[in-house]
């Protein structure tokens, strides 16, 4: 009897894995080591794919982006102390972007805390600024409840980061199989998620009356609408009413960039002149110029649709509709249909936007048409754009970071499908690229992943190209290599003095760095290209192969501008 009882013991690692699986988790990102190696192994044994990285920062970025792409919290597993600290990068990025993510870290033995134990840290205190909710499981019996709580908090309301702390002594505890199942059942049945609010009839009526009276309405949508998977409802809204739309950078693709009503190429006009803006799942933060003059008209009336009541209270819009974007738009569309007032397609507002779009697009196309060698940013971006267009559907997921590379890429690269763009985001986080690539490939195995990033963005976590090779992920990383942060040494010679004046500029890297060889070191495919023919052939081959590749594109170090379009802030 005794041996029977022993064989049916469940250790804490298994209990965590079982709880995660019950909650529907099937992917995990992280770096193993003391005390969480068994946890990763148990998770794998229970059917969870564990993607092992080189550093927690990159795997944290992956977990956050995975949460965004799938709508279910991305999980990051880290070791104690320094592992937890490195993981804060991902957790903070999830908080800033409002993406669902859970970090699970091992921590030192509870009885030795405060005496200088191995990798000791008050991890609950360390994560505090970056989480919606955190919990330390002080005993194995608390595991199921703690796992469900962090997942539920991360994914409900405005999504964000949560943290689960499991001390090493708890990881070594066991319970019998029947106790384990009882704990899981009880925790599962006591799970509760706050219901999402419904908007009232009056609020919808007020929104419709405002839209109806508008002379120059605009629909703006962002990554909250993408989280809500509101693409069909947005399509209905703009096509039923004829109102032009403007996506935020990561909202791009919810409706195709090539849509007749896309005002992206007339952004300044659209936001500067609109009188009613229906903003769906996008914060009126720096990215949208706080919704204030001079970029916006001082008389613009905002209808804000957001899941977060605090966001509405902060912005004080003319009308705030609190709730899930998809559900609210459904109701709004239904009511608009019942009373078919529409702004006509021959309306002067639409005409002025369409004309401006045409003018700006043809100016940009003239720039793009030139083959400039050594490469500026435009010529290689056109070649990449055309190669991506050639792939059709399913469109690749595009990962973009860097100053000029991201700025130019945002205007030139075309997004046709929802949730196919990941960039530096709300925080302007650089170094996210490789983690995002891995998350995207894991989240959407049918899609190719194409990163278009600067050499400095790539360098943050270039070692993760090994991870791409190890898991054979279909990721093509195109590095715009201009030899540094912003490229060449742009300092005024008179500013350079002092004992270290002969050091390279703080913005410079080794010129001509062979980043493609880094990929080759692990058995992936590397390309070095410097002219249109070379780039075209490399991109075509790499896209067709759907294997890990780095294309090292030599860019003129003095092309582009310092700080890209953010010069005024540097």
| Among the listed residues 248, 376, 400, 461, the single contact to ligand ADP using CB under 6 A | 248
Nearest approach, Cβ of residue 355 and ligand ADP (Å): 26
Nearest approach, Cβ of residue 308 and ligand ADP (Å): 4
Are 87 and 75 in contact by the 8 Å Cβ rule? The answer is no
**Residue 323 or 459 having the CB closest to ligand ADP:** 323
| Among the listed residues 16, 228, 403, 538, the single contact to ligand ADP using CB under 6 A | 228
The region, left, alpha or beta by phi > 0 then psi within -120 to 50, assigned to residue 176 is beta
**Residue 8 or 313 having the CB closest to ligand ADP:** 313
**Residue 167 or 418 having the CB closest to ligand ADP:** 418
**Residue 43 or 288 having the CB closest to ligand ADP:** 288
Residues 6+ apart with CB under 8 A from 338: none
Nearest approach, Cβ of residue 412 and ligand ADP (Å): 19
What would the two tokens of residue 268 be? 């300044």
Does residue 401 interact with ligand ADP by CB under 6 A?
A: no
Are 374 and 483 in contact by the 8 Å Cβ rule? The answer is no
Other Cβ atoms within 10 Å of 209 Cβ, number: 12
Does residue 156 interact with ligand ADP by CB under 6 A?
A: no
**Residue 31 or 101 having the CB closest to ligand ADP:** 101
Binding footprint of ligand ADP, residue count (CB under 6 A): 24
Nearest approach, Cβ of residue 228 and ligand ADP (Å): 3
**Residue 77 or 282 having the CB closest to ligand ADP:** 282
Which uninterrupted H or E stretch holds 62? helix 56-70
User: CA-to-CA distance for 203 and 180, rounded, in angstroms?
Assistant: 48
**Residue 56 or 306 having the CB closest to ligand ADP:** 306
Which residue's structure tokens are 């994560």? 127
Does residue 252 interact with ligand ADP by CB under 6 A?
A: no
**Residue 158 or 419 having the CB closest to ligand ADP:** 158
Are 343 and 238 in contact by the 8 Å Cβ rule? The answer is no
| Among the listed residues 97, 105, 404, 405, the single contact to ligand ADP using CB under 6 A | 97
Does residue 70 interact with ligand ADP by CB under 6 A?
A: no
Other Cβ atoms within 10 Å of 205 Cβ, number: 11
Binding range to ligand ADP, per CB under 6 A, among 182-190, 237-245, 279-287, 443-451: 279-287
Residues 6+ apart with CB under 8 A from 354: 260
What would the two tokens of residue 337 be? 């249909």
Are 428 and 378 in contact by the 8 Å Cβ rule? The answer is no
What's the full length of the chain, in residues?
A: 570
Cα four-point dihedral sign 86, 132, 46, 472: negative
Cα four-point dihedral sign 482, 483, 485, 491: negative
Does residue 64 interact with ligand ADP by CB under 6 A?
A: no
Nearest approach, Cβ of residue 309 and ligand ADP (Å): 9
**Residue 112 or 152 having the CB closest to ligand ADP:** 152
User: CA-to-CA distance for 557 and 375, rounded, in angstroms?
Assistant: 9
Nearest approach, Cβ of residue 288 and ligand ADP (Å): 6
x-or-dash string of contact with ligand ADP, 185-224, rule CB under 6 A? -------------------------------------xxx
Nearest approach, Cβ of residue 415 and ligand ADP (Å): 13
User: CA-to-CA distance for 389 and 383, rounded, in angstroms?
Assistant: 10
Does residue 276 interact with ligand ADP by CB under 6 A?
A: no
Does residue 426 interact with ligand ADP by CB under 6 A?
A: yes
Nearest approach, Cβ of residue 359 and ligand ADP (Å): 26
Which uninterrupted H or E stretch holds 101? strand 101-107
Binding range to ligand ADP, per CB under 6 A, among 61-69, 120-128, 181-189, 244-252: 244-252
Nearest approach, Cβ of residue 247 and ligand ADP (Å): 8
Task: Assign 3-class secondary structure to 277-327.
Answer: EEEECCCCCHHHHHHCCCCCCCCCEEEEEECCHHHHHHHCCCEEEECCHHH
**3-state secondary structure (DSSP) of residue 447:** coil
Contacts to ligand ADP from residues 314-343, by CB under 6 A: 324-325
Binding range to ligand ADP, per CB under 6 A, among 174-182, 206-214, 275-283, 408-416: 275-283
Nearest approach, Cβ of residue 385 and ligand ADP (Å): 22
Residue 310, classified by CB atoms within 10 Å of its CB into exposed (0-12), middle (13-18) or buried (19+), is: exposed
Binding range to ligand ADP, per CB under 6 A, among 32-40, 131-139, 301-309, 403-411: 301-309
Are 529 and 552 in contact by the 8 Å Cβ rule? The answer is yes
Nearest approach, Cβ of residue 384 and ligand ADP (Å): 23
66 HSE (CA, 13 A, CB side): 32
Nearest Cα neighbor of 15 from 112, 109, 123, 143 is 143
Interface ranges with ligand ADP (CB under 6 A)? 97-98, 158-159, 222-224, 227-228, 248, 250-251, 281-283, 285, 287, 306-308, 311, 324-325, 426
């Amino acid at each position: 009897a005794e041996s029977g009882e022993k064989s049916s013991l469940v250790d804490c690692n298994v209990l965590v894995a079982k709880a995660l699986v019950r909650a529907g988790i099937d992917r995990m990102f992280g770096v193993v080591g003391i005390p969480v190696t068994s946890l990763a192994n148990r998770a794998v044994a229970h059917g969870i794919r564990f993607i092992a990285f080189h550093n927690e920062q990159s795997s944290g970025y992956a977990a956050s982006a995975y949460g965004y792409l799938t709508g279910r919290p991305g999980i990051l597993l880290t070791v104690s102390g320094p592992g937890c600290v490195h993981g804060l990068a991902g957790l903070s990025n999830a908080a800033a972007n409002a993406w669902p993510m859970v970090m699970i870290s091992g921590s030192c033995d509870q009885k030795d805390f405060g005496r200088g134990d191995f990798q000791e840290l008050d991890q609950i205190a360390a994560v505090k600024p970056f989480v919606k909710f955190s919990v330390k499981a002080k005993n194995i019996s608390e595991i199921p409840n703690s796992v469900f709580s962090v997942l539920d908090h991360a994914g409900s309301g405005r999504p964000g980061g949560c943290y689960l702390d499991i001390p090493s002594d708890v990881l070594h505890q066991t319970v019998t199989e029947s106790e384990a199942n009882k704990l899981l059942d009880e925790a599962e049945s006591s799970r509760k998620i706050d219901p999402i609010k419904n908007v009232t009839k009056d609020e919808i009526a007020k929104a419709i009356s405002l839209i109806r009276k508008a002379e120059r309405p605009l629909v703006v949508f962002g990554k909250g609408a993408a989280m809500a998977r509101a693409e069909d409802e947005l399509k209905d809204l703009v096509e039923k009413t004829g109102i032009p739309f403007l996506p935020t950078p990561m909202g791009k693709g919810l409706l195709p960039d090539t849509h007749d009503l896309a005002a992206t190429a007339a952004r300044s006009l659209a936001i500067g002149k609109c009188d009613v803006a229906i903003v769906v799942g996008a914060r009126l933060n720096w990215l949208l110029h706080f919704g204030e003059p001079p970029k916006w008209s001082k008389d613009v009336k905002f209808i804000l649709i957001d899941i977060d009541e605090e966001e509405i209270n902060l912005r004080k819009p003319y009308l705030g509709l609190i709730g899930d974007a998809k559900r609210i738009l459904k109701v709004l569309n239904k009511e608009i249909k019942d009373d078919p007032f529409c702004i006509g397609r021959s309306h002067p507002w639409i005409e002025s936007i369409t004309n401006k779009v045409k003018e700006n697009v043809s100016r940009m196309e003239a720039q793009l048409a030139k083959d400039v060698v050594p490469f500026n940013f435009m010529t290689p971006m056109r070649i990449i754009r055309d190669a991506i267009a050639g792939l059709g559907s399913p469109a690749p997921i595009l990962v973009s970071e860097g100053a000029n590379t991201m700025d130019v890429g945002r205007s030139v690269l075309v997004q046709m499908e929802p949730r196919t763009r990941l960039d530096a985001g709300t925080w302007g986080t650089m170094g996210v690229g490789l983690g995002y690539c891995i998350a995207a490939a894991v989240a959407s195995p049918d899609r190719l992943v194409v990163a278009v990033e600067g050499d400095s963005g790539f360098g943050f976590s270039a070692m993760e190209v090994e991870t791409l090779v190890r898991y054979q992920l279909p990721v093509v990383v195109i590095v715009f290599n201009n030899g540094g942060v912003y490229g060449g040494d742009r300092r005024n010679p008179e500013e350079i003095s002092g004992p270290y004046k002969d050091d390279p500029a703080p913005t410079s890297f080794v010129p001509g760095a062979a980043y493609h060889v880094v990929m080759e070191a692990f058995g992936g495919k590397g390309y070095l290209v410097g002219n249109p023919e070379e780039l075209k052939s490399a991109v075509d081959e790499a896209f067709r192969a759907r294997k890990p590749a780095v294309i090292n594109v030599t860019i003129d170090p003095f092309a582009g501008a310092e700080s890209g379009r953010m010069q005024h802030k540097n």
